Amino acid sequence: MSPEQAELKSVEVDTRTDVYSLGALLYELLAGVPLFDTHELLKAGLDEVRRAIREKEPVRPSAAVGLMPLISWSALQSAVNFSHPN
């Protein structure tokens, strides 16, 4: 949900919502985590979720990358061996 949608002032969804959605998707692909903590948002009520979307600044992607779980060496090696068999 884009900040414009969270305001509930406009019935129409326009290009800004599409751009925000693409940005949120790109953020998650690059950082490995969503823009906002989903567990925190699920605990909050709808009004709190809307407020968070409108007012909270997400963690910068460069800082969020450190939150990604690390891939174990054996998993990485297995992927390489699968992609490039001897």
Task: Name residues of the chain where pLDDT drops below 70.
Answer: 10-11, 64-86
Q: Is 20 exposed, middle or buried (0-12, 13-18, 19+ CB in 10 A)?
A: middle
Q: Find all residues with CB under 8 Å of 31, minimum gap 6, and list them.
A: 59, 61, 64, 65, 67, 68
Angle at 66 between CA 63 and CA 69, to 5 degrees: 145
| Nearest Cα residue to 67 out of 75, 76, 58, 55 | 58
pLDDT of 10 reads 65
Instruction: Identify the pLDDT of residue 54.
Output: 83
pLDDT of 85: 59
